[in-house]
A and B are shown apart, each in its own frame.
Chain A
Amino acid sequence: MTRGSDGEAYLRIRGVTKRFGTFTALEAVDLDVHEGEFVAFLGPSGCGKTTLLRAISGLDVQSEGRIWQGGREISTLPVGERDFGIVFQSYALFPNLTIFDNVAYGLVAARRPKAEIRARVAELLQLVGLADQTAKYPAQLSGGQQQRVALARALALSPGLLLLDEPLSALDARVRARLRGEIRDLQRRLGITTIMVTHDQEEALTMADRIVVMNHGRIEQVGPPDQVYARPATAFVADFIGRMNFLPGRLLAANRAEVQGAGLAFAPPIELAPGAPVTVCLRPEDVVVRAVPETGPNVLAMQVGVMEFIGNHFQTTLHALGTSLNLSADLSINAVRDLGIAAGATIRVALPPERLRVFPQPPG
C-alpha cells in the first residue's frame, strides 16, 4: 500500500471489547482501516471476527470502546443511522420481490425519482453482470447470481463502507473462485472501503489488501497477504495460514537453534537467552532441493519417505540422517523428475535461514 499513516483512517476502532455474560468475545481491539482499502477478518470460528463486524455495523454494539467512520463517531448510533451496505452468507434477498425491486429497495424508500431509480438499478446490475435478469425472482437464479444481486442491492445507496459476512461460504468451489475475482475487481473499480469476514484463508489471501488474523477475541497480526504468509507474527498465525512444520528446539545463540539433533541457523536473530525452548517453523514448500551446495548453513542429508502425489506437486516426509529431525516437504513435479527423487533415496536439502521462523514458546 502506498497510503501513509499520516492521514486519518477512514474507520478507526479503539479499545473495542464485547462481552456476552462472562465470556469475552472481543478484547480491547484497535484497528485502522483506510479509505478504499479491502480488509479481511480471518480466523477460526469463535475468534471474534463476526462479533467485530457486528459491532462496526451496529447490529450488536460493543460493550466498551469507540468506533469512528469518516471522522464521525458511530459507537452508539442505531443501525439505520450508520453508513454501510451489507451482504450476508444467506444472501437475504427478499423472495417475493423481483431482482429489480430487490436492488431498488433502498432507493424507493429514499424517494428518488422513478427515472433515476431505473437508471441506477440498470447501472448496478450491469456492474454485477446481471443486466438481463431484472424481472426474475431470486429463487429463479443460481446461488452465485443471487449473491451478485445482494451485492448490487448493498451498493445501491453508494455507502461509504461495504461489509461482507462470509459472502462466498454458501457457494460451491467453482462459483466461489470466480466470484472472488469479480468482487475484488468491483471493489477496486468503485474504490469502496470494504471489510470481509471469512474463515477461508485462500479467500482472504487472494482478495484482501490487508488481512486481520484474529484468535480468541484478539488481533494476532495485521498485514498484507504476502507478509502474513511469509512472516507470521505468532505461532497461531503460522499454523492457521498455510501448512507449516512446527519443530521443537532449543536456542544455541541469537541466530542458531538445536532442533532434534540438527543445528539450524536462522535470520533475523531473536532476543532470547541461549537455552530457551523455541519452536522453529518452516513451510513445506520452502525446502530447497535444487542446486544445493556441498556445504553451507542448514544443508542436510535427508532420506525421502513415502511420496504422496497431490496433483501439482508431491508431498513427502524427510528424515535428516544422524538426527531425529523429521519434516514434511512439498517437492515440485519437475524437481522430482529432474533429480530422480524416489522414496527411500537420500538427497541433499537446504533449509534457507531467512525462511525459518522462530517463536519463543513451545507449540501449544
Chain B
Amino acid sequence: MATLAEDRPRVGDRPAGTVRQRLGRDDLVMRGGLVLVAAWLGVAVVLPLWALLSKSVQDPDGRFVGLANFAAYAGTPALSSSIWNSVLVAAVSTVVCILLAFLFAYGLTRTCLPGKGLLKTVAQVPILAPSLLPAIALVYMFGNQGYAKNLLMGHSIYGPIGIVLGSVFWTFPHALIIITTALALSDARLYEAAAALRASRSRVFWTVTLPGARYGLISATFVVFTLVITDFGVPKVIGGQFNVLATDVYKQVVGQQNFQMGAVVGLVLLVPALLAFGVDRLVQRRQTALLSARAVPYTPKPDPLVDRVFLVVCALIAAAILVVLGTALFASLVTFWPYNLSFTLRNYDFDRMDGGGWESYRNSLTMASCTALFGTAVVFIGAWLVEKSRGFAQGRAVVHMLALLPLAVPGLVLGLGYIFFFNAPGNPLNFLYGSMAILVLCTIAHFYSVAHLTAVTALKQIDPEFETVSASLRVPFYRTFARVTLPVCLPAVLDIAMYLFVNAMTTVSAVVFLYAPSTTLAAIAVLNMDDAGDAAPAAAMAILIFATSAAVRLVYVLVTGRLLYRAQAWRRR
C-alpha cells in the first residue's frame, strides 16, 4: 500500500527555485506570429498616428513649436467656426437617423408586419454605395434643377440641409444594425410579467422596451455622430459654402498644402471618435450582462393596427432609400438632366471624362480584392493568435488593443497620418507611397477593428480545448488550424472578406490623400468628376460601385447558402 508517508521524497528530489516551461516549437512560432502582427499594426496604425501627432506641434520646417498651430487654429474664425458647423450638422443628423432607425428596427423586431425580408434588404442598400451617392442624388432631387425642389420651400439643398439628408441616408443601416440587435436581445418573460401586472402599452414601452434597448441606442448614437462628423464625401459634394471639419482637412492639405494645420484639424476630428470608442466599449460590456442565459427570446404577436402603422412607416423609409438610389440611377442613364431625358449609356463612357476613367474602376476592383484577400488572412490569423496561443498574455493583450485602435480613428485622420509617415524622406517604406500597396495597407488598417472583432467572436465560440487535445496528440498547430479551426469559422471568414471588399469599394476618406494618378479609385473618380461638374458620370460611377458591391453581396449570399450547406454538413443533425 502506497501512502503519503512512504512516499516522502528522498534528499535531492527537492526543486530549487521556480519552474519555467520550455517553449515548444508551436509556442515559438505562434509568439513569433504575434510579434509580426503587432509590428504590422504598429506600421499600419500607430506610427502614422504618431507622425500626425508630431506634425501638429511642428512648423513647416519640422521645428518643434509646441501648441502654436493649435493657437493659430483657434485664432482663425474661418476654421474654428467649422467645429460648431460640424457639431450642429452631426447632432441633427444623429437625432433624425436614430429616430428613423429605431422605428424601423421596432417594426422589424416587435411587430408582425409583412415583408420583413424585403425591408431588411432595402435598408442595407446604403451600405453598398459610397456616401457620395446620396449627395449626388440629392442634388438631382432638390438642387437648382431638382424635381422636388419646391419641398424645401426656398431653402438651398447646398449646405446643412443637404449634409443632414445625405448623412442620414448612408448612416441609417449602421444605426439599424446596432438597434435591431439591441431590440432582438429582449427577455419575453419581462413582457409577460408586465402583461400579468396589467401594464398599459405605453407603460410597457417606457419601462421595459426602451430601458432594454438603451445601451444599443447610446451606442448607435455615438457611432452615427462619429460617422457623420468624420465623413468627407457628403459635405464635399453638397456642403456648398458650409464648412465642416472634414472638408477643412481636405482643403488645408490638398488645396493649400498646409500640412500642419491639416494635422491640427485631424486631431480635432479624433476627439469625437475617441469619445464614441470609449462609450461604445463601456456600453458593450453592460449590454452582454443584461441578458441572462436563461432569458426567453421575445416573439411578437399579430396586432392589426400596430402592424399596419409600422408597415406604413417602414415602407416609407424603404421607399425613400429606393427613391434616392433610383434618382442616381436615372440621372446616370439620361442624356442631359432635366432637359433631355432620353436614354443613354454615354455617362458610363468614363474614359471621356477626367477623373480616372474605367481604369479607376479596375483599380478599385484590384484594391478591394487585395484588401479582402490579404485583409482577411491577416485579420483572421491575428485574431487566432490572440485567442489561441498559450501564455504570453502581455503580447496578446497588446495585439488585441492595437487591433481595436482603428475603430477610434476616422479615415481622414488615418489617411493624413499615412502621408506624414510614408512620405517622410527618411522612411525606408517611402517606396510604398503612391503605390497600390499603400491603398490596400491603409484600407485594411482602416477597417481592421470590426473584422478583428468578428473573427474573435467566432473563435471564442469554438471549444478552447481543441488546441490542447491536438498538442496531446502531437499534432502541430497549423494542422489543427487548417483542418478544424478554419473550416469551423468559415462563415465568419467569408463575412470578413465581404465586409472588407464592400468597404474598400466604397471608401473615400482615407484613400483620398493617398492615391496617385495611376491608382485612382472608382469612389475617388466620383468625387473628381463631380468636382469637375460631370455630375451624371459621377452618378454613373457611384451606381457602378453600388452594383459591384451588390453583386458581391449576392454571390456571398449564394456561396454561404450553397457551399456552406455542403462544406458544413456537420452542422446538421
Q: Interface on chain B toward A: helix, strand, loop, or mixed SS? A: loop
Chain B, residue nearest A94 (CB): B484
A23 to B465, CA, bound (A): 25
A210 to B6, CA, bound (A): 15
CB of A182, distance to nearest CB on chain B (Å): 21
Q: Does B285 contact A (CB under 8 A)?
A: no
Residues from chain A with Cβ under 8 Å of B7 in the complex: 5, 9, 30-32
- Which residues of chain A are within 8 angstroms of B474 by Cβ–Cβ distance? 80, 106, 109-110, 157
The closest CB in chain B to the CB of A92 belongs to B465
Q: Which of chain B's residues have a CB closer than 8 A to the CB of A90?
A: 463, 465
Q: How far is the CB of B337 from chain A (nearest CB, A)?
A: 54
Instruction: Using A76-B19, A109-B479 as known contacts, say yes or no to A97 and B484 having CB atoms under 8 A apart.
Output: yes
When distances are taken between beta carbons in the complex, the residues of chain A under 8 Å from B572 are 139
CA of A97 to CA of B8 in the docked complex: distance in angstroms? Answer: 46
What residues of chain B lie closer than 8 Å to A139, measured between beta carbons? 570-573
The contact string, 1 if C-beta is below 8 Å from chain A, for chain B 1-23, is 11110111100011101111111
Selected from B3, B8, B390, the residue in CB contact (under 8 A) with A222 is B3
Q: Is the CB of B15 within 8 A of A79?
A: no
Could you say which of A62-70, A263-271, A280-288 contacts chain B? A62-70
The answer to whether the Cβ of A359 comes within 8 Å of any Cβ in the partner chain is no
Cβ contact within 8 Å between B473 and A57: no
- Asked whether any CB of chain B lies closer than 8 Å to the CB of A305, the reply is no
One of A32, A57, A91, A95 near B488 (C-beta < 8 A): A95
B14 CB contacts on chain A under 8 angstroms: 14-15
Chain A's nearest CB lies how many Å from the CB of B464? 8
Most buried by B among A14, A32, A79: A79
For window 51-110 of chain A, which residues contact chain B by CB distance below 8 Å? 57-59, 61-66, 75-82, 84-86, 88, 90-92, 94-97, 105-106, 109-110
**A153 in the interface (beta carbon within 8 A):** yes
- In angstroms, how far is the closest chain B Cβ from the Cβ of A63? 6
Distance, CA A19 to CA B22, complexed state (A): 18
In the complex, how many angstroms separate the beta carbon of A54 from the nearest chain B beta carbon? Answer: 9
Please, what's the 1-or-0 string for B472-492, where 1 marks a CB less than 8 Å from any CB in chain A? 111110010001100110000
The answer on a CB contact under 8 Å between A34 and B2 is yes
Asked if A5 meets B15 with Cβ closer than 8 Å, knowing A92-B465, A96-B487, A138-B570, the reply is no
A85 touches B472 (CB 8 A): yes
Q: How far is the CA of A1 from the CA of B3 in the complex (A)?
A: 11
Cβ 8 A contact of A30, one of B4, B472, B568: B4
Given A66-B13, A80-B471, A86-B469, also A92-B463 (CB < 8 A): yes
User: Whole-angstrom distance from the CB of A57 to the nearest CB of chain B?
Assistant: 7
Asked whether B359 is an interface residue with its Cβ less than 8 Å from the other chain, the reply is no
Q: Confirm or deny: B307 has a beta carbon within 8 angstroms of a beta carbon on chain A.
A: no
Q: Are B471 and A137 in contact (CB under 8 A)?
A: no
Chain A CB within 10 A, most for which of B23, B26, B472: B472
B280 at the interface (CB under 8 A from A): no
Nearest-neighbour CB distance to chain A for B371, whole angstroms, equals 28
Min CB distance, A207 to chain B, in Å?
18
For A58, give its contact among B1, B2, B21 (CB under 8 Å).
Answer: B21
Known pairs A14-B9, A140-B573; A64 contacts B476 (CB<8 A): no
Given contacts A9-B7, A14-B13, contact A137 B472 (CB under 8 A): no
Q: How far is the CB of A188 from chain B (nearest CB, A)?
A: 19
B9 touches A105 (CB 8 A): no
Q: Which residues of B contact A14 (CB under 8 A)?
A: 9, 13-15
- CB <8 Å contact, A105 and B22: no
Chain B residues whose CB sits within 8 angstroms of the CB of A81 once the complex forms: 24
With both beta carbons as reference points, the residue of chain A lying nearest to B476 in the complex is identified as A109
User: For residue A82, which residues in chain B have a CB less than 8 angstroms away from its CB?
Assistant: 472
Q: Complex Cα distance A156/B267, Å?
A: 60
Evaluate contact between B571 and A57: CB separation under 8 angstroms.
no
Chain B residue contacts of A92, Cβ below 8 A:
463, 465-466, 468-469
Chain B CB within 10 Å, residue with most, of A76, A94, A110: A94
Chain B residue contacts of A80, Cβ below 8 A:
24-26, 471-472, 474, 476
Q: Is A197 an interface residue (CB 8 A)?
A: no
Chain B residues with Cβ below 8 Å from A88 are 463, 465, 468-469
**Bound CA–CA A92/B9 (angstroms):** 36
Query: Separation in Å of the B475 CB from the closest CB of chain A?
Result: 4
Residues of chain B within 8 A (CB-CB) of A86 are: 468-469, 472
A214 → B minimal CB distance (Å)? 12
B196 within 8 A of A: no
Q: Quick one: CB contact mask for A144-162 with B, threshold 8 Å, 1 for yes? A: 0000000001101101000
| Cα–Cα, bound, A31→B5 (Å) | 10
Residues of B contacting A138 in the complex (Cβ-Cβ under 8 angstroms): 570
CB-CB under 8 A for A153 and B473, given A140-B573, A222-B3:
yes
Residues of A within 8 A of B465 (CB): 88, 90, 92
Residue from the set A3, A9, A31, A65 with the largest chain B CB neighbour count within 10 Å = A65
Contacts of A277 in B (CB 8 A): none
Q: What is the minimal beta-carbon distance from A28 to any residue of chain B, in angstroms? A: 10
With A and B bound together, what is the CA distance between A1 and B2 in angstroms? 9
Is B387 interfacial (CB-CB < 8 Å)? no
Select A78's contact among B21, B473, B570, beta carbons within 8 Å. B21
Q: Pick the contact of B21 from A30, A76, A106 — CB < 8 Å?
A: A76
A15 B472 Cβ-Cβ under 8 A: no
Contacting residues, chain A, for B21 (C-beta < 8 A): 58, 61, 76-78
A179 interface contact, C-beta 8 A: no
List, in ascending order, chain A residues with CB within 8 A of B484's CB. Answer: 94, 96-97
Query: How far is it, in angstroms, between the C-alpha of A106 and the C-alpha of B2 when the chains are bound?
Result: 34
Contact assessment for B570 and A15 in the assembled complex, using a CB-CB cutoff below 8 Å:
no
**Closest chain A CB from B342 CB (angstroms):** 57
Residue of B with least CB distance to A89: B465
Q: Is the CB of B472 within 8 A of A32?
A: no
Q: Is A219 an interface residue (CB 8 A)?
A: yes
Give Cα A77–Cα B571 distance, bound, in whole angstroms.
37
- Give chain B residues whose Cβ lies under 8 Å from the Cβ of A353: none
Task: Identify the closest chain B residue to A86 (Cβ).
Answer: B472
Instruction: Confirm or deny: B569 has a beta carbon within 8 angstroms of a beta carbon on chain A.
Output: yes
Q: How far is the CA of A139 from the CA of B463 in the complex (A)?
A: 14
Once bound together, how far apart are the Cα atoms of A92 and B463, in whole Å? 6
Report the minimum CB–CB distance from A89 to chain B (whole Å).
Answer: 9
Which chain B positions have C-beta within 8 A of A65?
15, 19
Complex Cα gap A3–B22 (Å) = 34
Smallest beta-carbon distance B563→chain A, Å: 14
| Contact of A137 with B569 in the complex, beta carbons under 8 Å | yes
Chain B nearest CB, measured from A192 CB (Å): 14
Q: Is the CB of A64 within 8 A of B3?
A: no
B27 at interface, CB cutoff 8 A: yes
Q: Contacts A59-B468, A223-B3 given: A96-B568 contact, CB under 8 Å?
A: yes
Decide: A153 near B570, CB < 8 A? Known: A5-B2, A32-B7, A105-B475: no
Shortest CB-to-CB span from B434 to chain A, Å, is 44
Minimum C-beta distance from B214 to chain A (A) = 35
Given that A65-B19, A96-B570 are contacting pairs, would A105 and B4 also be in contact in the complex, using a CB cutoff of 8 Å? no
Supply 9 further A-B pairs (C-beta < 8 A) apart from A79-B472, A105-B475. A32-B7, A80-B24, A81-B24, A94-B466, A105-B470, A106-B474, A106-B475, A157-B474, A224-B1
Closest 9 CB pairs of A and B: A78-B24, A106-B473, A92-B465, A137-B570, A79-B471, A61-B21, A109-B475, A32-B7, A94-B484
Q: List 29 A-B contacts (CB under 8 A).
A: A1-B2, A14-B9, A15-B13, A30-B7, A30-B8, A31-B4, A34-B2, A57-B472, A62-B19, A64-B19, A66-B15, A66-B19, A78-B27, A80-B26, A80-B474, A90-B465, A92-B463, A92-B468, A92-B469, A94-B483, A95-B488, A96-B487, A97-B483, A106-B474, A109-B473, A139-B571, A139-B573, A157-B474, A219-B4
Interface residue ranges, A against B (CB under 8 Å): 1, 3, 5, 9, 14-15, 30-32, 34, 57-59, 61-66, 75-82, 84-86, 88, 90-92, 94-97, 105-106, 109-110, 137-140, 153-154, 156-157, 159, 210, 219, 222-224
Chain B residues with CB under 8 Å of chain A are 1-4, 6-9, 13-15, 17-27, 390, 462-463, 465-466, 468-476, 479, 483-484, 487-488, 568-573
